[in-house]
Amino acid sequence: MELLEKRILKDGKVFPGNILKVDSFLNHQIDVELLNEMGKEIKRLYDGTGVNKILTIEASGIGIACIVAQYFGCPVLFAKKSKTKNIASTVYKTQVESFTHGKTYDVIVSKDFIGEGDKVLIIDDFLAEGNALLGLIDLCNQAGAEVAGCAIAVEKAFQQGGKRVRDLGIRVESLARVESMSDDSLTFVK
Amino acid sequence: MELLEKRILKDGKVFPGNILKVDSFLNHQIDVELLNEMGKEIKRLYDGTGVNKILTIEASGIGIACIVAQYFGCPVLFAKKSKTKNIASTVYKTQVESFTHGKTYDVIVSKDFIGEGDKVLIIDDFLAEGNALLGLIDLCNQAGAEVAGCAIAVEKAFQQGGKRVRDLGIRVESLARVESMSDDSLTFVK
């Protein structure tokens, strides 16, 4: 998506350790107009697939998911990072290793809000090693819900996440796919 | 706001310890249509006040803030719960005690995205003891930004938060103000 690629080139910042900071418009400060354009594009890509629920993970997926959901006319469900050791029997639980924080989280969704018959579009801001997506897919599988696919703002295509998820036969659409990045250059997969 | 009050009566659940669960439509699963109606009402309340930034706190404020921001045509900034002990000099920091989790968090915003000349509308899903709002107000004060006011989905009017914030001379608009609640009844301030 050209609009997002241009914005990354203009306002994104590369830091050592393959960190791409887009916190001026995507995951700290949020440009809601840009999110709306992303929502239109994701709706175009997944039009006619029968999506009836959007699933994301706190925190930075939530804003994108809510704006995108307007184009699908469906609710958002966000998986929560659990703070307690005692997980209730009323939730599905999985584990997600965070690339950014070097830590593994228990991630939960309530059994009340996802189940058989649901067709789920999974949304997140970044796709790097794929751990968050694989966790969200696992939650859908536990619930017996169908995964229509994933829609990602920024995929680091030089990491393994995209391949890991696509190898499961799951559709992944990334609006910007970063091929390589360094201090003074950033290129996209064409 | 009648629509929200009716929804709370229909789908909200009261648990011991003054816990009101609205996770079927507000802060786990999110009804984006309802959020849009809340956005229109908040815009009506704060119309003409010159709001140019919406500030909230992760995680459950983000969805509301993004939908509401569409009516103001301005960006969202969400304060992050910091996971590190080393706080960079590039952020404003405050501390927020969580009523729900019984824990105190460091909460940060980047100095790049808030400052003098900003007129900030603070948004959150709940107002109980007011700790999150007071933390967000403190961040605005540190940044030299003006607080136009606060917009809250659900205020527990029987707790002290609303009074604490209003006593500072800051405008607080809550779309539903719960006067009292128990297992079998819930009333709103009229």
CA distance B187 to B184: 10
Task: Provide Rg for chain B, Cα atoms.
Answer: 16
What residues of chain B score a pLDDT lower than 70?
Answer: 85-87, 99
CA distance A58 to B29: 12
What's the pLDDT score for residue B103? Answer: 87
Residues A2-184, CATH architecture:
3-Layer(aba) Sandwich (3.40)
What's the pLDDT score for residue A103? Answer: 87
Is residue A176 packed enough to be buried (19+ CB in 10 Å), middle (13-18) or exposed (0-12)?
buried
Give A79-120 pLDDT, tens digit per residue. 999 877 666 789 999 999 986 777 899 999 999 999 999 999
* Most A CBs within 10 Å, among B11, B29, B105, to test the A interface: B29
With vertex at residue B119, the alpha carbon angle to CA A13 and CA B170, rounded to the nearest 5 degrees, is 130
What's the pLDDT score for residue A183? Answer: 82
What residues does each domain of chain B span?
Answer: 2-188
Interface pTM, i.e. ipTM: 0.96
Give A20-74 pLDDT, tens digit per residue. 999 999 999 999 999 999 999 999 999 999 999 999 999 999 999 999 999 999 9
What's the pLDDT score for residue A73? Answer: 98
- Closest residue of B to A24, CA-based? B113
**CATH number for domain B2-188, candidates 3.30.1280.10, 3.90.1150.10, 3.40.50.2020, 3.10.350.10:** 3.40.50.2020
Least confident of A16-20, A117-121, A177-181, B56-60: A16-20
Q: Which residues of A touch B55 (CB under 8 A)?
A: none
* Most A CBs within 10 Å, among B40, B58, B62, to test the A interface: B62
* Chain-chain contact of A66 with B32 (C-beta, under 8 angstroms): yes
Instruction: For residue A130, give the nearest of A102, A159, A173 by alpha carbon.
Output: A159
Q: Output phi, psi for B119, to 5 deg.
A: -120, 110
A115 at B interface, C-beta within 8 A: no
* Chain-chain contact of A28 with B58 (C-beta, under 8 angstroms): no
Among the partner residues A30, A75, A109, nearest to B66 by beta-carbon distance: A30
Q: Are A162 and A155 in contact (CB under 8 A)?
A: yes
* Chain-chain contact of A30 with B75 (C-beta, under 8 angstroms): yes
Share of chain B above pLDDT 90, in %: 88
